Amino acid sequence: MSLNPDVQARVHAEIDAIIGNDALLSMHHRIQLPFTEATILETQRLGDVVPLGVPHAVTEDVYFRDYFIPKGTMIIPNLYSVHMNPELWPEPEKFKPERFLDSDGNIDQKELIPFSVGKRQCLGEGMAKMELFLYFTSMMQHFNFKPAPGYPAPNTKGLLGFTNAPEPFHILVRKRNAK
């Protein structure tokens, strides 16, 4: 949010209009906060915590894009390639939560697969989505995030390993409505 003050302002405005800054947040608010939800989805797309999926074995012979993959071959899904595909996401390197809203302002998840797909997708997806919504929305309800003066802006590329972790960074966090 410190890198996207315009998005942060829209999230703050939506939260203020629906919940206010003193009311207790609940999962019932999720459907009422489509721009906030779209912002979380765009963060998941660009953040890609697990850019490579869990290895799978092909259960039958498959032809995929002119390649023959024999039954039993181990494959590793590249979720990052889906999330950064310009055919699916115009200007994929840009942070644009609007891409997850349809023409009526409702959520449209499209090709987002941060928890993988199929039988082997993350069993904790439902709980993770709930926790992410409650944590992010609560933080945005109460705080404002800005770049820390005298420090470089946070690097959004991360440190790639089995997971994609953020590099150390400095930001300024202030309680909202504080002088």
Structure tokens at 69: 């993959």
Separation CA 46–CA 38 (nearest Å)? 12
Separation CA 115–CA 122 (nearest Å)? 5
DSSP state string for 40-90:
HHHHHHHH-SS-B---EE-SS-EEETTEEE-TT-EE--BHHHHHT-TTTSS
Instruction: Please state, in angstroms and as integers, the Cα–Cα distance from residue 130 to each residue in 11, 13, 74, following that order.
Output: 17, 21, 32
- 122 known member of a binding site: yes
E strand residue ranges, the chain: 56-57, 62-64, 67-69, 74-75, 143-147, 159-160, 164-165, 171-175
User: Could you tell me which of 104, 72, 112, 95 has the C-alpha nearest to residue 153?
Assistant: 95
Residue 124 carries which side chain, given as an amino acid letter?
G
Binding-site residues for heme = 122
Binding-site residues = 122
